């Protein structure tokens, strides 16, 4: 029996996208090359539809960083070649990557919460100059100045010479800021949380760092990092489930 071919509009409808997106994804290698009739019409199969659905599962929403994007692009292209077993393996590796990012983000928030409750995050005794502080924290002097300029901390200065001096309180705060930034939180999200904390509101800091204000412009996934990573983890599991379904169809 001849295989029933599908049209571009059929694939677009199955994946919930515009027909132009189907054509673009073919060009990018997210779905397999498509046979054409002598008249030039594309002849899609059910496998094309499944690959298109997989790609749409993978690419919806904001991207939480280069590594996660590269990981999901790799597995989608691998599935499009017909190597579903390799794509499934890559899917589980992708899930592990997202979970590791989420664990890092959660650890940073736990440090934040302990610090906000009064736990000292540093034991530096004598105040340090900006160069010494940068060396201690493994960051650049420009980065410290940028964090101060953007309102993340206020550094006391020597009244005689105007030099910045970082004591245990400032360095402890910087350690928390550095860990949050390295865990993927945006500077806007950190500032939002610190303004609440400095205003005397020490509760719900997890919510504060993850919830943009109504009048706040959100430009990146990192402005709501915890929620983004939770969504990415669910997306990774959906991708795995779809790949398993595709493998089941091929084994029928």
- Chain-centroid distance of CA 17 in Å reads 23
How far, in Å, CA of 91 to CA of 238, rounded?
Answer: 10
Q: When comparing pLDDT for 101 and 63, which is higher? A: 101
Q: Taking all residues of the chain, what is their mean pLDDT, rounded to a whole number?
A: 92
Q: Which CATH number fits domain 105-223: 3.40.50.2300, 1.10.1660.10, 1.10.3720.10, 3.90.700.10?
A: 1.10.1660.10
User: How wide is the angle at C-alpha 110 spanned by C-alphas 109 and 113, nearest 5°?
Assistant: 85
What is the Cα Rg of the chain in Å?
A: 25
Does the pLDDT of residue 27 top 60, yes or no? yes
- Chain-centroid distance of CA 158 in Å reads 40
Q: Which CATH number fits domain 1-60: 3.40.50.970, 1.10.10.60, 1.10.1660.10, 3.20.10.10?
A: 1.10.1660.10
Domain boundaries, the chain: 1-60, 105-223
Question: Poorest-confidence range of 58-67, 102-111, 187-196?
Answer: 58-67
The end-to-end CA distance of the chain, in Å, is 16
pLDDT of res. 4: 82
The DSSP code for 223 is: G
Going by pLDDT thresholds of 50, 70 and 90, the confidence category of residue 3 is low
Q: Are 67 and 97 in contact (CB under 8 A)?
A: yes
How far, in Å, CA of 99 to CA of 83, rounded?
Answer: 24
pLDDT tens for residues 124-173?
A: 888 999 999 999 999 999 999 999 999 999 999 888 887 889 999 999 99
């Amino acid at each position: 029996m001849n295989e029933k071919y599908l049209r571009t509009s059929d694939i677009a409808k199955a994946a919930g996208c515009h027909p132009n997106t189907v054509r673009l994804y073919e060009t990018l290698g997210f779905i397999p090359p498509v046979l054409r009739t002598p008249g030039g019409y594309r002849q899609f199969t059910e496998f094309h539809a499944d690959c298109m659905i997989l790609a749409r599962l993978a690419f919806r929403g904001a991207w939480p960083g280069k590594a996660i994007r590269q990981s999901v692009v790799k597995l989608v292209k691998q599935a499009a070649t017909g190597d579903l077993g390799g794509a499934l393996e890559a899917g589980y590796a992708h899930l592990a990557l997202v979970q590791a990012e989420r664990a890092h983000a959660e650890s940073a928030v736990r440090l934040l919460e302990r610090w906000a409750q009064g736990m000292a995050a540093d034991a530096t005794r004598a105040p340090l100059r900006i160069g010494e502080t940068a060396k201690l924290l493994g960051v650049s002097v420009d980065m410290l100045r940028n964090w101060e300029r953007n309102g993340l901390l206020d550094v006391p200065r020597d009244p005689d010479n105007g030099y910045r001096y970082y004591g245990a309180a400032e360095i402890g705060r910087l350690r928390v800021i550095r860990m949050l930034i390295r865990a993927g939180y945006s500077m806007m999200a950190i500032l939002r949380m610190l303004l609440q904390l400095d205003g005397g509101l020490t509760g719900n800091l997890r919510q504060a760092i993850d919830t943009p204000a109504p009048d706040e412009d959100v430009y990146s996934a990192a402005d709501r990092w915890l929620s983004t990573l939770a969504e990415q983890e669910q997306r990774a599991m959906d991708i795995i489930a779809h790949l398993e379904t595709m493998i089941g169809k091929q084994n029928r």
